[in-house]
Chains A and B, each alone.
Chain A
Amino acid sequence: MELTRREALKKFATGTGAAVATAGLTTIALPGSANAEVEFKEAPKNAVSLLYDATRCIGCKSCVAACAEANNLQPDTSLSGGLHQAPADLNAFTKNIIKLYKPADGRGWSYVKQQCMQCVDPTCVAGCSFFALTKRPEDGVVWWNASKCMGCRYCEISCPFHVPKFQWEGFNPKIVKCEMCKERLAVGKQPACTSVCPVQAVVFGTREQNLAEAKRRIAENPDKYYQNKIYGETDGGGTQNLYLSHVPFEKLGLPDLGTESIPSKYMKWQRKLYSFLVVPTVLYVTMVGVIRGNWKEHKHHMEEEQKKTGLRPQL
């Protein structure tokens, strides 16, 4: 028994060795493909972007109303007793919302706008089985495709910003999230929210423009902004939509994610193991070899049993 087990382990070891070698070779031979995706990603050149400045926002919510109108969303009146649009959170009727952060002592309060961050390396896209959520290469907007989505809601589980929402009612549910007013962008207009903001608290531009604008504002008022930091520049691998604030970003629901994106941080090994299915294939072939060897012995054993008992052998 000892010897045979060792043999099996040996065969396994050779198989795994071969797998590692082949995987190594493919890494060298095909530097531009699967493995490259693990590396740091950059936003597309013409990545569209929103820059939200919490110090400027007056909480008028005209962007919320404009968003609902532009996207044909039924107004969510849950907080106003059915009177007017007053959603409690992003939901199946709300792609954009203004929230108020107010600590108990009332000091250092702030509004915050919440919508899809259009991540540079989106976690929702990384997990989506059939790319029902895709990042458009031209402008980096994350689009949802009804004909590909099977409604598994993995995007809701994985999004660190709690953005994608699901229509819980009805037999034909959809995923609802900000797509930067893609119909408006297509005809050269800017998104509805930026077009109505009376104080330029949220402005539209390319990511480069908005980064430069944010840096300019910080340079003009060096003590105004929290840590003089632009949230989204590198957070979670970078987001296209950027935030400036006078209160800590965590208080506004923008978590501290580090500089690495969630997919590249957690999926490194997973992706290497599955690259080109090399490891699974080698393992499979090795196992077939071992089992075929043991199969003969098993057959022999079955035949002996049949002779002894006179009963049909059982597979």
Chain B
Amino acid sequence: MTDRWERDVPVYNVPIWTKPFKVLMSLGGIALLLTLYREVVGLGPASGMNDAYAWGIWKTFNVMTLTGLGSGAFAIGISAWLFKQSKLHTVMRIALLTSFLAYLSGLIMIGIDVGRPWNIYWLVTPWNWNPHSPLLEVMFCMPAYAMLPLLLENVPPVLEYFHRNKPGTREFVEKCEKIIIAGYPFIVALAYILPAMHQSSLGALMLLAGDKVNPLWQTPFLPLLYVWAAAYLGVCCVAGTLLFTCLMWKRPYDMDVLVLLNKICAWLVGTWILFRMLDIVISGRLGFAFSADIFAGLFWMEMLFLGVGLYMLIDSAKLRNARLMFHAHVLIGVGGLLYRFNPTTLAFQPKPGAFYFPSAMELLISIGFVSLAIAGFCVAVKLLAILPAPTYTWFQMEAHESKLKALNRDEKVGELVTANNFSD
């Protein structure tokens, strides 16, 4: 393989309205309808939540867990901009897009989950804030991150689209680009400080739950472990998406960049496992890992996914094997998501006899908004230059486009000829 990712190129030879896309959109449509129902009747009839398990999967999975996968722009951006891994600049756009969509769907879920959403407007009045609340930190930083740095960093591909397809807008686009370039370092730095703060605060949320969280997860280092897990989850989401899209749309892949991503991910996962184990051993909680209960089982399940995933990451980087690499990222993803989900739900024991299982409606809404994010991704990569490719792909795309235009003209001419024949 000698292909290099040099430039981001749209997926130009695939239609947008495919069958999977229609399925995703209808799942999203169902979720929107059910959301209306939830807003009218309240949270109780729509979900499995109760006073003991007051947070259901909308918050614990869609927000606290899945935004970990949306931290690709955070982790890869830091590697590219702060640690000068210049090879990674070509995969920044996909990282930014996946992050933006993951956060957007998460933010919508917060809005659906809270019972009195009309009071969210207090966010714009800092004198009403409780500065020590981890939830305030999350509620402020998450939208701030998604709507400022993430959104702004996702603007250049859109501007580029207009520049290429709508010649009339070129002057305006160039003006916008100048403004963005002037502020870029400030925006980019904001894109690292905000997620570092709110991804750790997502972990800090569970600190106040105290002993309700199983000792294997409850630790003062929960915020650090959460943001760390977000970092490797972000990398593995981007790497996994890259591998998957290359396979699906038959695009060439750049092994060097993928191996670099593997190394970053492996380094993060390795140190994370080490730190987590040290924390448990030093604070004397190791005994809980060997008690015969479901929590010890969950703990070892996490460790198994992450441990095997780590081994496969290192192995696939050595072998430069794309298939193995993809499987490694899936395993790391499952392990990391499990870690972030466990203290909020599975290893959260509010009181004896308490039970929670998401209702069908709850599940459908949760799935629906994830589907919408995926559908958004599918549209964006086909219209905009998001996915990385060798430069020659760009010229192939231009050739393909002009051929298509010519073909259309020929068809029109052909139609005219047949019409004339009939009149004769």
Residues of A that sit less than 8 Å from B by CB: 1, 4-5, 8, 12, 34, 37, 89-91, 123, 125-132, 146-154, 156-158, 160, 162, 165-173, 255, 257, 262-263, 265-271, 274, 280, 283-284, 287-288, 290-292, 294-295, 297-298, 301, 305, 309, 311-312, 314-315
Query: How far does the alpha carbon of A172 sit from the alpha carbon of B119 in the complex, in Å?
Result: 11
B270 within 8 A of A: no
Query: How far does the alpha carbon of A228 sit from the alpha carbon of B285 in the complex, in Å?
Result: 31
* Interface pair A284/B51, CB less than 8 Å apart: no
Query: How far does the alpha carbon of A168 sit from the alpha carbon of B43 in the complex, in Å?
Result: 5
Nearest-CB distance from A59 to chain B (Å)? 21
| B 178-221 to A, binary, CB cutoff 8 A, 1 in contact else 0 | 00110011101110110011000100110111111000000010
Query: How far does the alpha carbon of A262 sit from the alpha carbon of B135 in the complex, in Å?
Result: 16
Nearest-CB distance from A301 to chain B (Å)? 7
Query: How far does the alpha carbon of A291 sit from the alpha carbon of B180 in the complex, in Å?
Result: 15
Contact of B188 among A169, A171, A291 (CB under 8 A): A291
Q: Which residues of A contact B136 (CB under 8 A)?
A: 129-130
Nearest-CB distance from A132 to chain B (Å)? 8
* Interface pair A147/B181, CB less than 8 Å apart: no
Interface residues on B, range: 35 or more
Q: Which residues of B contact A12 (CB under 8 A)?
A: 82
* Interface pair B208/A291, CB less than 8 Å apart: no
Residue of A nearest to B177 (CB): A315
Nearest-CB distance from A289 to chain B (Å)? 9
Query: How far does the alpha carbon of A283 sit from the alpha carbon of B190 in the complex, in Å?
Result: 10
A148-B122, A266-B210, A305-B6 known, 6 other contacts, Cβ within 8 Å: A128-B135, A162-B52, A173-B42, A269-B223, A280-B193, A288-B186
Q: Which residues of A contact B160 (CB under 8 A)?
A: 312, 314
Task: Report if A169-B45 is in contact (Cβ < 8 Å); known contacts: A131-B128, A151-B117, A312-B163.
Answer: yes
Task: Report if A287-B189 is in contact (Cβ < 8 Å); known contacts: A153-B55, A166-B54.
Answer: yes
- Which of B42, B52, B163 has the most CB atoms of chain A within a 10 A radius of its CB? B42
Task: Report if A314-B130 is in contact (Cβ < 8 Å); known contacts: A8-B83, A291-B188.
Answer: no
Q: Which residues of B contact A312 (CB under 8 A)?
A: 160, 163
* Interface pair A130/B184, CB less than 8 Å apart: no
Task: Report if A149-B82 is in contact (Cβ < 8 Å); known contacts: A126-B132, A315-B156, A315-B180.
Answer: no
Task: Report if A171-B208 is in contact (Cβ < 8 Å); known contacts: A129-B130, A150-B117, A305-B6.
Answer: no
* Interface pair A280/B41, CB less than 8 Å apart: no
B129 within 8 A of A: yes
Contact of A167 among B42, B81, B93 (CB under 8 A): B42
Contact of B135 among A154, A267, A274, A301 (CB under 8 A): A154
Nearest-CB distance from A300 to chain B (Å)? 11
* Interface pair B208/A263, CB less than 8 Å apart: yes
* Interface pair A274/B131, CB less than 8 Å apart: yes
Q: Which residues of B contact A4 (CB under 8 A)?
A: 83-84
Query: How far does the alpha carbon of A125 sit from the alpha carbon of B117 in the complex, in Å?
Result: 19
B351 within 8 A of A: yes
| B 95-139 to A, binary, CB cutoff 8 A, 1 in contact else 0 | 000000000000000000111110110100000111111111101
B7 within 8 A of A: yes
Q: Which residues of B contact A284 (CB under 8 A)?
A: 189-190, 193
* Interface pair B45/A292, CB less than 8 Å apart: no
* Interface pair A262/B208, CB less than 8 Å apart: yes
Nearest-CB distance from A118 to chain B (Å)? 18
Task: Report if A150-B119 is in contact (Cβ < 8 Å); known contacts: A130-B136, A305-B6.
Answer: yes
B49 within 8 A of A: yes
Q: Please, could you name 30 A-B residue pairs with CB atoms under 8 Å apart, sorted by A? A: A1-B84, A4-B83, A5-B84, A8-B83, A34-B131, A123-B208, A127-B135, A129-B133, A129-B136, A130-B122, A148-B122, A150-B114, A151-B119, A152-B135, A157-B54, A169-B41, A257-B210, A257-B211, A263-B132, A263-B208, A265-B210, A269-B220, A274-B137, A287-B192, A292-B185, A294-B81, A295-B184, A298-B86, A301-B86, A314-B160
Query: How far does the alpha carbon of A131 sit from the alpha carbon of B136 in the complex, in Å?
Result: 10
Query: How far does the alpha carbon of A90 sit from the alpha carbon of B204 in the complex, in Å?
Result: 27
Nearest-CB distance from B189 to chain A (Å)? 4
Nearest-CB distance from B10 to chain A (Å)? 12
* Interface pair A130/B129, CB less than 8 Å apart: yes
Nearest-CB distance from A112 to chain B (Å)? 14
Nearest-CB distance from B348 to chain A (Å)? 8
Query: How far does the alpha carbon of A114 sit from the alpha carbon of B407 in the complex, in Å?
Result: 79
* Interface pair B188/A148, CB less than 8 Å apart: no
* Interface pair A126/B133, CB less than 8 Å apart: yes
* Interface pair B130/A270, CB less than 8 Å apart: no
Q: Which residues of B contact A34 (CB under 8 A)?
A: 131
* Interface pair B207/A169, CB less than 8 Å apart: no
- Which of A1, A89, A170, A297 has the most CB atoms of chain B within a 10 A radius of its CB? A170
Residue of B nearest to A34 (CB): B131
Contact of A173 among B43, B133, B192 (CB under 8 A): B43
In the A-B complex, the 10 residue pairs with the smallest Cβ-Cβ separation, listed nearest first, are: A151-B115, A168-B44, A156-B54, A151-B116, A153-B54, A287-B189, A158-B208, A266-B207, A129-B136, A315-B156
* Interface pair B207/A270, CB less than 8 Å apart: yes
* Interface pair A173/B115, CB less than 8 Å apart: yes
Contact of A315 among B39, B116, B184 (CB under 8 A): B184
B385 within 8 A of A: yes
Query: How far does the alpha carbon of A294 sit from the alpha carbon of B79 in the complex, in Å?
Result: 12
Q: Which residues of A contact B210 (CB under 8 A)?
A: 123, 158, 160, 257, 262, 265-266
Residue of B nearest to A156 (CB): B54
Query: How far does the alpha carbon of A83 sit from the alpha carbon of B410 in the complex, in Å?
Result: 83
B340 within 8 A of A: no
Q: Which residues of B contact A270 (CB under 8 A)?
A: 132, 134, 201, 204, 207, 223
B329 within 8 A of A: no
Residue of B nearest to A162 (CB): B351
Residue of B nearest to A125 (CB): B130
Q: Which residues of B contact A268 (CB under 8 A)?
A: 220
B288 within 8 A of A: no
- Which of B7, B119, B184, B223 has the most CB atoms of chain A within a 10 A radius of its CB? B119
B307 within 8 A of A: no
Query: How far does the alpha carbon of A153 sit from the alpha carbon of B156 in the complex, in Å?
Result: 39
B40 within 8 A of A: yes
* Interface pair B208/A130, CB less than 8 Å apart: no
Q: Which residues of A contact B130 (CB under 8 A)?
A: 125-131
B21 within 8 A of A: no
Nearest-CB distance from A218 to chain B (Å)? 27
Q: Which residues of A contact B305 (CB under 8 A)?
A: none
Nearest-CB distance from A179 to chain B (Å)? 18
